[in-house]
Amino acid sequence: MKTLLLTGSQLATAAKLIQQGELVAFPTETVYGLGADATNVAAVKKVYQAKGRPSDNPLIVTVSKVSMVEKYVQPLSTDAKKLIDQFWPGSLTMIFKLKPNALSKTVTGGLTTAAFRFPNNQLTLDLITQAGVPIVGPSANTSGKPSPTTAQHVYHDLNGKIAAIVDDGPTTVGVESTVLDMSVDTPSILRPGAVTKEDIEAVIHRPVVDELHHVGMSQTPKAPGMKYKHYAPDAQVYIVDPDDDWQAVANWIAAHDQPVGVMAFDDVIKTINWPQNADVISIGTDAKTAAHDLFAELRDFDNHKQYKVVFAQGLKPTGIAEAYMNRLNKSAGQMHFKQL
Ligand code: TXA
Ligand code: MG
Three state DSSP letters for the chain: CCCEEECHHHHHHHHHHHHCCCCEEECCCCCCEEEEECCCHHHHHHHHHHHCCCCCCCCEEECCCHHHHHCCECCCCHHHHHHHHHHCCCCEEEEEEECCCCCCHHHHCCCCEEEEECCCCHHHHHHHHHHCCCEECCECCCCCCCCCCCHHHHHHHHCCCCCEEECCCCCCCCCCCEEEECCCCCCEEEECCCCCHHHHHHHHCCCCEEHHHHHCCCCCCCCCCCCCCCCCCCCEEEEECCCCCHHHHHHHHHCCCCCEEEEECHHHHHHCCCCCCEEEEECCCCHHHHHHHHHHHHHHHHHCCCCCEEEEECCCCCCHHHHHHHHHHHHCCCCEHHHC
CA-based Rg of the chain, rounded to a whole angstrom? Answer: 20
* CATH 3.40.50.300 corresponds to the domain 236-339: no
CA distance 264 to 278: 12
Is residue 222 scored above 50 in pLDDT? no
Among 3.90.870.10, 1.10.1030.10, 3.40.50.720, 3.40.366.10, what is the CATH number of 4-214?
Answer: 3.90.870.10
Please report which confidence band the pLDDT of residue 218 belongs to, taking 50, 70 and 90 as the band edges. Answer: very low
| Averaged pLDDT, 294-299 | 95
So what's the pLDDT on residue 215? 52
Whether 117 is in the pocket of ligand 1, judged by its Cβ within 6 Å, is yes
CA distance 13 to 131: 10
What is the 139 CA–ligand 2 centroid distance (Å)?
4
- The contacts of residue 82 (CB under 8 Å, 6+ apart) are 203, 204
So what's the pLDDT on residue 214? 60
CA distance 258 to 120: 42
Please report which confidence band the pLDDT of residue 239 belongs to, taking 50, 70 and 90 as the band edges. Answer: very high
Whether 180 is in the pocket of ligand 1, judged by its Cβ within 6 Å, is no
So what's the pLDDT on residue 232? 77
What is the tens place of the pLDDT at every residue in 55-91?
888 999 999 999 999 999 999 999 999 999 999 999 9
Is residue 177 part of an annotated ligand binding site?
yes
Q: Give the strand order in the sheet containing 260-264.
A: 236-240, 309-313, 260-264, 278-282
Is residue 211 scored above 60 in pLDDT? yes
Residue 134's closest CA among 101, 158, 103? 103
Whether residue 89 has a cis bond before it, omega within 30° of 0:
yes
Q: Taken in order 187, 172, 49, 44, is the CA torsion positive or negative?
A: positive
Paired with 336 in beta bridges are 239
Is residue 191 part of an annotated ligand binding site?
yes
| Averaged pLDDT, 291-303 | 93
What is the 147 CA–ligand 2 centroid distance (Å)?
6
Is residue 217 scored above 70 in pLDDT? no
Is residue 228 scored above 50 in pLDDT? no
For residue 137, which atom of ligand 1 is closest to its CA? 6
What is the tens place of the pLDDT at every residue in 114-162?
999 999 999 999 999 999 999 999 999 998 899 999 999 999 999 999 9
What is the 188 CA–ligand 1 centroid distance (Å)?
14
So what's the pLDDT on residue 180? 97
8 A C-beta contact, residue 91 and residue 36: no
CA distance 39 to 21: 10
Domain range list for the chain: 4-214, 236-339
Whether 33 is in the pocket of ligand 1, judged by its Cβ within 6 Å, is yes
Average pLDDT over all residues of the chain: 93
Please report which confidence band the pLDDT of residue 229 belongs to, taking 50, 70 and 90 as the band edges. Answer: low
Whether 171 is in the pocket of ligand 1, judged by its Cβ within 6 Å, is no
Rounded to two decimals, the pTM is 0.94
- The contacts of residue 270 (CB under 8 Å, 6+ apart) are none
CA distance 75 to 92: 19
